[in-house]
Structure 1
Amino acid sequence: MVMVLTITACEFSFTTPEEYFDRVALNTNSISRFGGQYFNTYLRYIKGGANTPDFNTCEKYLRNNSIATVVANVKKIKDLKPTKKTKPMIDAALDLYAFVLKSYESDHLKVAKMIDGHASENDINAAITAIDNKSYDAFVQKYNKLWDIAEAYAKDNGIEVKKMPF
């Protein structure tokens, strides 16, 4: 008796739909604040007394928290095996993270150094406004694109998505 095993082109993955959704979409909550919103959140964080030696300056917070989180999340996504159903969501997330990382490492870092250097409030606000004018619309577009794809993926896979007001 000869047994023939056939493998069809199915979408097999050891990663559950929930894991894909969590790593690819849900983790972007860590970057949902961008530009002016990012710095407002940082200033509330510091004024609340929640600073440590790793985060006691805006630059350290940006590098040791925000940038490090983006890099870690990108690695988590790249460790996934894309499938036909997950590839659009993965591609949109990687595009969003690349955009945010570029801004964090340039424009956001410039403002962080201004805050740490006690630049005038007017200069800091002008720099934040410049980030928002330059990048905020593109950020929102990329963020919304990812979430449009992610919400459809969640619905197709029976994943409940709760939206929080921001």
Structure 2
Amino acid sequence: MITNMKKFLILAAMAVLPACSNPTPENYFDTAVLNTNMINDFGSDALTKMLIAQNVKYNGTLPNGPDAATKMIDTKVQYIEKTLVKVKDLKETDETRTMLKTSAALFEYVLPVYKNEYKALAKLSDEGGTQEDVLSLGKEIDEKYGQRFDSLFDVLTAEGKKYAAAHDIKVNWGN
């Protein structure tokens, strides 16, 4: 038999649980905007050079082990997939709609490039491709996808700045 006190506790817990699932402005910002830090090197020479660096031997050994560049790209793919789910799970509001849609579009845009082109680039690096070949393929990827990425990223950054300012979220934009 449920006592009045148990009924009260059950009802109180039921009332509190939905509040726990309501994201804060910081949750929105972190998920939609801050999580792009993992992909901010997309379409850049820096990412290509990082893949090459994964295969530089020190004292005759690969410090990050075999297939380090491929593992690095695989990690990014997993992160993007998880983050994309989180972005899509956030409830859109009038205030967050553009930020969330742009964030999802950005992650959806880069995901197949990481899975295909960057994975092939990493494999080339891991399998001993010349630095010139890796840099050349990296440049092709950058030229093909970089402009659209930059456009989406700029829109998301602008939306993120507005949202952060409206909610007094302290952000160092690197400026």
Task: Please classify the TM superposition score into its range, dividing by the shorter chain length.
Answer: 0.7 to 0.9
How many corresponding residue pairs?
A: 151
Distance 1:116 1:42, change over 3 A: closer
How big is each residue's C-alpha offset from its partner over 1:26-68, in whole Å with a ceiling of 9 and x where there is no partner? Answer: 0111110113221223444665876267xx42112211x1100
Name the aligned partner's letter for residue 88 of structure 2.
K
Name whichever of 135-144 and 33-42 sits farther off.
33-42
Q: How does 1:6-45 map to 2 (within 5 A)?
A: 14-35=22-43, 36-44=45-53
User: Normalization by structure 1: what TM-score?
Assistant: 0.81
Can you give the 5+ residue segments of structure 2 that lack an aligned partner in the other structure? 1-18
Residue of structure 2 aligned with 1:60, choices 55, 71, 81? 71
Q: Hey, what does 2:81 align to over in structure 1?
A: 71
Q: Higher helix share goes to which structure? A: 2
Distance 1:127 1:155, change over 3 A: same
Q: Hey, what does 2:164 align to over in structure 1?
A: 154
RMSD over aligned CA atoms reads: 2.2
Residue of structure 1 aligned with 2:107, choices 97, 101, 111? 97
Q: Partners in 2 of 1:147 and 1:45 — Cα distance?
A: 30
Q: Aligned residues: percent identity?
A: 28
Q: Which has the larger radius of gyration?
A: 2
Conserved 8 A contact 2:99-2:160: yes
Name whichever of 13-22 and 92-101 sits farther off.
13-22
Residue of structure 2 aligned with 1:164, choices 159, 171, 174? 174
Can you give the 5+ residue segments of structure 1 that lack an aligned partner in the other structure? 1-11
How big is each residue's C-alpha offset from its partner over 1:74-129, in whole Å with a ceiling of 9 and x where there is no partner? Answer: 11112211111111100000010011112101211121111111112221111011
Q: Partners in 2 of 1:27 and 1:66 — Cα distance?
A: 11
Q: Hey, what does 1:51 align to over in structure 2?
A: 64
Is 2:142 the counterpart of 1:135?
Answer: no
